[in-house]
Each structure stands twice: as structure tokens, then as C-alpha cells.
Amino acid sequence: MNINIQEKVIGHENPTFFVAEAGLNHNGDLEIAKKMIDAASESKADAIKFQTFKTNEFLSKSSEYFDFFKNTELSFNDFEEINEYAKRKNIIFFSAPFDLSSAEFLLQIQVPCFKIASSDLTNFPLIKKIANSQKPIIISTGLADLEEVEHTVNFCERENNDKIILLHSVSNYPTNPIETNLKAMDTLHKKFQCPVGYSDNGDSELVDLVAVSMGANIIEKHFTLDKNMEGPDHSFSIEPNNLKKLISDIRLIEKMKGNGNKKPQNSEKEAIKAIRKSLTARIDIMKGQKISLDNVAIKRPENGIKPEFLEEIIGKTVTKDIQIDTPINFEDLSE
């Protein structure tokens, strides 16, 4: 099953949909957010993703994270500007709403899809609001087992929305590469028959390359303008230069994977005759003599009978003189 997000098609045999995860790395500054859009667009990411929330609506004031989220909160007006700016930069903008009012706002500005964060996998009131939009839903599955994922997928389908993309993820920041368990992508795909990818919460670029080589339809990667900026996610986020290289490497991997048809590549066709061997006269063979193991050699280039037919021509009579190191052809032989 393929899912369309604007002009991009996500699913089997389509290019990996790369999402530059801005997250909270804008530090609550609209101008930094715009610079992140610039960097993501220049790196040829398909989309840039933010987090949209009203801190008072999804966090209790007693939470140790309340002040941090409050300080990085962008206003709805900011996101209207971000949405328009992303359009001008020709990059898809979407977001993960953390509360119902944010989801409603994102609907109003007509985002092309929604993201459900791992932390909201069981937040069915929020998911119901999003599913009813009939827009594609990208669901991160960190913290969850297969049964919980199934419960959420079934809920979306009961709300008549099967435009689901699942992201395997490990909600540990940064994620240790040995904990990534990338084969879980296969498990999700076999179980739900929908596009599947990996949401990366670590700093290893190798993990993303391996995920793509294993068939990830979508990669989501935290990125930042500068790893040294203040904030919890900057240190394990990828910077613009490396982001550009990572996306370039992913596109190379896609080409390397090819189409699966086993046949010589165009570059091999000229080499076949030079590299492969054919049946060749070991000595001068005179007209009327019979072919035997004593007068046949197997040598490059391939411009005569293929070696696989050696036993078939043993005992046949030569119909013309064949000089040493000259290829033997079927038309030179008779019974």
C-alpha cells in the first residue's frame, strides 16, 4: 500500500521519504525555525516536521519539563508563518500536535499529514481528532509493544482512516545503535501491510543508512543548526552539512538497491566478450581433423563457442583450417 503526501508517494519501490525533525531545536525562536527550514530545504529533505502544543494543555505545572516546553513554545501565529515560509522554500511542513487545540489549528492551516508522537500512541481522543481529518497519519511506536500498535491502528481504521505510516522508534535520547532493533520494521510491515520506516532519536548516521538498506520507506532524523546550542536534543541531532550528506547517501543507496532484475548492467555488456572465455584452437587444426581435448583450449576473449558446449563438439570434424589461438565456431564443424 502506498500513501501520498502532497506529490510524494511513500511505500514500496518509492524513494525513501526523508523528514528533517526540527522538534524543539528552534528553541522557541521563529527566526531559528525559518533558518532550519532553509537548511532542510537546501539539504533536499522531503519534509520538515515540528511539534505544536500549548504547554498548559498537555503538561501539568508540576512536571519537571513544564518550564522547558513553555520556553520553547511557538505560537499559532508563528506556525502560520512557518507553514507559508515552508511553501516558499518548496518543502513539506507538518507537525505533531500534543493537544486537541493544536490539532484543530493544524487542520485549519491545512497541513498535508499529521504525526503522532510515541508519547501519544494511546491518546485516543487526540488520535480520533486526527483520524477524522482523513489525512495521512505518521505514527511513531517508541515505548510500545506490537499489541499496543495494533490497538492504535485498529482504532484509526474504525475511524475510517487507513492512511497509516508506522515508524519504528526507540524513545531513548540518544538511542544507542545496538538498541535500534531495526528488524522490527519488518515485523510492522508484515503485520500491518502499510508503509514503515524509522524515527531516529540517536546521533549515528549509520543507523539511518542501514534502515534504508533494509527497506525503510521513511526516515525521520533530528537535526539542528548547531550541536552546541542550548537544549536537550541538539547534542544528538545532525547538523546541516551532515544532513545534506546523509540524504545524498540515502539516494545513492536507493540506486544501489536497483530494481531486482538479474541481468548484465549496461557497463558490463562491453566487458562480457573481453572477460569471458570461448573454445579456442590449442594448436593448428587442419580441415578434416576431429576436435579432441588435445587440440582445444579455453581462453579469452569470448568470440567463439562457449566452454559449456565443449563435450558436445568433441569428435566433430573441422570443415576448414583453424589456426592456433583462433576461436572455434559451430559453423566450422560438421558431424
In the structure, what pLDDT confidence band is assigned to residue 1 with cuts at 50, 70 and 90? confident
**249's grid cell:** 547517501
Please provide the DSSP assignment of 69-132 as one string: HHHTPPPHHHHHHHHHHHHHTT-EEEEEESSHHHHHHHHHTT-S-EEE-GGGTT-HHHHHHHHT
Contacts of 67 (CB under 8 A, 6+ apart): none
Residue 223: count other Cβ atoms within 10 Å of its Cβ.
26
Work out the pLDDT band at 193, boundaries 50, 70, 90: very high
Q: So what's the pLDDT on residue 335?
A: 83
What confidence score (pLDDT) does residue 21 get? 98
- Residues 251-261 have pLDDT tens digits of 999 999 998 99
Domains of the chain: 14-257 (3.20.20.70), 271-334 (3.90.1210.10)
